[in-house]
């Protein structure tokens, strides 16, 4: 599958924000993105492997893709959850329940919704290349979170890796998150995939091996197809 580089964005510290799209244009796209939190290398690695596979081994897929390898490039370089302004990018979207109140410093939502250049760049991509499904790779503890009409896709993944599937995360409110923003603003469901965290017992390769089949099957399945008219 051929991919074209999209005009880049710029981070707080002036680094390039890279994005790519399938060569075949489409009315809507499946988004694959990682690195919203710069210290979550597991999701970045998983997406890197999937992107290589799409480019090198897949000729046709049931949808067109937009790929953002690392959204929070400054945080990734510094190994921090937040961006260079100290903002949690996954609390900075203009959702109906966005709030400036913060439970912990690591969840600081910024001075206002979409105050951060990384999220401004992503939102401009959404406007130019509308999403019909957003898959966002994170790492915390292994589970699959769904927002909007994608529970079946989450259950499909779980059949391969046996990760727990959940909608709302009890005791963990996420105002201003992408999971809320995608369905509210763009009518696009969001799958937030939480990888296990690397340790002495689990490596990046282990995480890839555990999830390779699940995501290869997902990205070739009807679950990533554009909605029927």
Predicted confidence (pLDDT) per residue in 116-137, tens digit: 999 999 999 999 999 999 999 9
In a domain, 196, yes or no: yes
In a domain, 167, yes or no: yes
In a domain, 229, yes or no: no
Domain count, the chain: 1
Predicted confidence (pLDDT) per residue in 58-76, tens digit: 999 999 999 999 999 999 9
- The number of CA neighbours under 13 Å toward the Cβ of 172 is 10
pLDDT of residue 172: 78
Predicted confidence (pLDDT) per residue in 26-66, tens digit: 999 999 999 999 999 999 999 999 999 999 999 999 999 99
Expressed as residue numbers, the domain containing 91 is: 3-224
In angstroms, rounded to a whole number, what is the distance separating the alpha carbons of residues 74 and 82? 9
In angstroms, rounded to a whole number, what is the distance separating the alpha carbons of residues 73 and 89? 12
CATH code of the domain containing 210: 3.40.630.10
In angstroms, rounded to a whole number, what is the distance separating the alpha carbons of residues 33 and 79? 17
Confidence band of 169 (pLDDT split at 50, 70, 90): confident
From residue 162, alpha-carbon distances to 44, 114, 214 in Å are: 21, 35, 10
- The residues that bridge with 136 in the sheet, in sequence order, are 33, 192
């Amino acid at each position: 599958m051929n991919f074209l580089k999209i005009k880049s964005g710029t981070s707080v510290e002036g680094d390039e924000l890279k994005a790519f799209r399938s060569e075949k244009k489409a009315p809507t796209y499946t988004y694959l993105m990682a690195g919203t939190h710069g210290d979550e290398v597991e999701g970045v690695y998983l997406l890197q492997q999937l992107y290589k596979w799409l480019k090198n081994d897949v000729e046709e897929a049931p949808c067109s893709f937009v790929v953002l390898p690392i959204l929070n490039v400054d945080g990734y370089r510094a190994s921090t959850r937040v961006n260079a302004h100290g903002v949690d990018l996954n609390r900075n979207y203009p959702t109906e329940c966005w709030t400036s109140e913060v439970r912990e410093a690591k969840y600081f939502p910024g001075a206002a919704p979409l105050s951060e250049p990384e999220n401004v760049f992503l939102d401009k991509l959404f406007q130019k290349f509308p999403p019909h499904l957003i898959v966002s790779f994170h790492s915390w503890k292994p589970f699959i979170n769904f927002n909007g009409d994608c529970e079946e896709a989450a259950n499909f993944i779980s059949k391969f890796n046996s990760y727990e599937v959940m909608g709302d995360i009890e005791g963990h409110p996420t105002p201003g998150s992408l999971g809320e923003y995608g369905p509210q603003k763009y009518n696009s469901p969001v799958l937030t995939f939480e990888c296990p965290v690397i340790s002495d017992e689990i490596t990046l390769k282990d995480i890839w091996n555990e999830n390779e089949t699940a995501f290869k099957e997902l990205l070739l399945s009807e679950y990533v197809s554009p909605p029927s008219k």
